[in-house]
Amino acid sequence: MSKVKFIAEISSNHNRDLNRSKIFIKTAAEIGCQGVKFQLFKISQLFTPEILLKSKKHRDRERWELPVEFIPELANYTHELGLEFACTPFYLDAVDELEPYVDFYKIASYELLWRELFIKCAETGKPLVFSIGMAIPDEIESALKTLCTGKTKEITVMHCNSAYPTPIHDSNLKAISTLKDGLNEYNRMLNISFGWSDHTVSPSVIYRAVHHYNVKYVEFHLDLDGKGEEFSAGHCWLPEQISKVIKTVEEGYIADGSGIIEPTVSELPDRDWRADPVDGLRPLMKIRKSYNG
């Protein structure tokens, strides 16, 4: 079993195409992910009327919306492939629409201050993941205090930078250690894990987050072919890029070994070829005479 969950964030790269959405899910399974995540929003309930009136750019994001009628089929297909299905609700009714299908909810950084959304998700009892891009400590603690009163106890706090893409020098991975120390008291009421939501598209950042800061969850934005709605922004991985990272992360865990100081199987043939303590020459005395070249 993998020690870290890789979750492919499909975001709006599905292009409102059900078949393309299912190809994303199949691809996520093939490259080694443990789950996929979509987003359920309606532009009319995401931005205020005055912004939509003034901004064609924001109105045009209507074509990014995932049709809610896709959800049952996408969830079923995800589960058939042995992956977890998750979705980010961006309006309150979305929590109810998703509840029969999701294995966990995700709350985005931009919704961190919306207590009502946290309460609504927590009432379901399902695991909850939330990102903390742009946040200050009081805002993060306020969210956790809200969650302490709900049914949901499995919580993942995702360190994140909300710049798309994120400059590597702004990743601030040390904040993961700060989070672990500062939020430890909430583990009395919640089971908190920590993760990294990636917008850097940098293998080095993910390796560092996993193997140095011991995150248990990595979320990344996936595109299939560079034709997704969000790919041009520069924060999305292609399958061939991220598959190498996932494989390398798993290889890193294999390297841990047992921790017992003893010769490994691969070393055993060389033990007799060490320098003998009598004369300092190789191999040991006991095999010199029997050596046949």
Q: 131 in helix, strand or coil? A: strand
CB of 156 closer than 8 Å to CB of 132: no
Q: 148 in helix, strand or coil? A: coil
CB of 34 closer than 8 Å to CB of 83: yes
What's the pLDDT score for residue 2? 66
Q: From residue 198, give the alpha-carbon distance in Å to each of 25, 52, 165, 206, 280.
A: 19, 29, 9, 8, 53
Q: Would you give per-residue pLDDT tens digits along the chain (293 residues)?
A: 568 999 999 999 999 999 999 999 999 999 999 999 999 999 999 999 999 999 999 999 999 999 999 999 999 999 999 999 999 999 999 999 999 999 999 999 999 999 999 999 999 999 999 999 999 999 999 999 999 999 999 999 999 999 999 999 999 999 999 999 999 999 999 999 999 999 999 999 999 999 999 999 999 999 999 999 999 999 999 999 999 999 999 999 999 999 999 999 999 999 999 999 999 999 999 999 899 88
Q: Which of 189, 256, 228 is nearest to 14 (CA)?
A: 228
Ordered domains of the chain (ranges, CATH)? 5-254 (3.20.20.70), 261-293 (no CATH)
What's the pLDDT score for residue 128? 98
Q: 6 in helix, strand or coil? A: strand
- Residue ranges with strand state E in the chain: 5-11, 35-40, 84-89, 104-107, 128-131, 154-160, 191-198, 217-222, 236-237
| CA 125 to mean position of chain CA atoms | 21
Q: From residue 14, give the alpha-carbon distance in Å to each of 37, 80, 131, 218.
A: 11, 19, 22, 20
Q: From residue 169, give the alpha-carbon distance in Å to each of 12, 38, 166, 205, 273.
A: 27, 28, 8, 10, 48
What's the pLDDT score for residue 289? 87
Q: Parallel, antiparallel, or unpaired: how do β-strands 236-237 and 154-160 relate? A: unpaired
CB of 46 closer than 8 Å to CB of 90: yes
* CA dihedral over 119, 122, 124, 130, signed as positive or negative: positive
Cβ-proximal residues to 258 (8 Å cutoff; 6+ apart), any chain: none
CB of 56 closer than 8 Å to CB of 11: no
What's the pLDDT score for residue 293? 80
The residue with tokens 């919580």 is 155
DSSP 8-state code for residue 284: -
